[in-house]
Amino acid sequence: MIIPAIDLIDGKVVRLQQGDFARKTEFSFDPLERIQDAAAQGAQLMHLVDLDGAKDPAKRQLKLISRLVKQSPLPIQTGGGIRTEKDVTDLLEAGVKRVVIGSAAVKDQQFGCRMLDTYGADNITLALDVNIKDGTALVATAGWQESSGLELISLLHTFCDHSLQHVLITDISKDGMLQGPNTELYHFIADKFPELDIIASGGISSLQDIAATVRSGAKSVVLGRALLEGRFSVKEAIACWQNA
């Protein structure tokens, strides 16, 4: 599945390079119009990142997200600084299809497992941001500023014991850089966890990158900067995904 993405700061569409707020590009797009356009081109799910919420949960853009969900022709997956069960329930009650939980689930695996058990695996997407160090995939937290010291595969085993379905994997070195995805990483994960909906994220700049991601075993891909910059359309991405 092709999943278009928009990142939001103060209601505006932006992109960060490697999660760095100091390396921000702002786009003059209306978020709802981007969602409507993606739907018109055949998208089935939209990915929203609340960067205000990621930086400070007290500044979560819940009103904006609620409005977008109500007006959106597409189901929405969203995250950004989800730290508590109330954060999860607020978004689900607002009509969000899937809540994306990252650092909180890594730092407190019992919390992540409880959210999967309580709200159902189809309503939760686990986001794991990865640094490759000496050939080992290690998971980062706190907006990529800290290493958890935990291996990706070990964490996936833990959450799969609680029926994990959707996992968003980002190679930090690739995100926002348009230098190609880490297909080796996705192939490695898909080989060990063939039942997972592996959602690839980071580095995709061309239709050739999308085709390579399909062949890697990922079942979905989030597209952000490449779409915002018009390198290809949602419709072209979907056709590439289906024909790869």
Query: Which residues carry out catalysis?
Result: 7, 129
Task: Round to whole Å and give the CA distance between 20 and 17.
Answer: 6
- DSSP result, 130-197: EEEETTEEEEEETTTTEEEEEEHHHHHHHHHTTT--EEEEEETTTTTT-S---HHHHHHHHHH-TTSE
Which residues are 49's β-sheet partners?
7, 79
C-alpha span between 125 and 79 (Å, rounded) = 9
Give the residue among 128, 200, 201 at the shortest CA–CA distance from 160. Answer: 128
Closest CA to 47 of 116, 127, 138, 139: 127
Residues 188, 63: Cα–Cα separation, whole Å: 39
Q: How many Å apart are CA 13 and CA 6, to the nearest integer?
A: 6
* Dist CA 79 CA 52 (whole Å): 11
Question: What region does 181 belong to: left with phi over 0, alpha with psi -120 to 50, or beta?
Answer: beta
Question: Residues 207, 215: contact at Cβ < 8 Å?
Answer: no
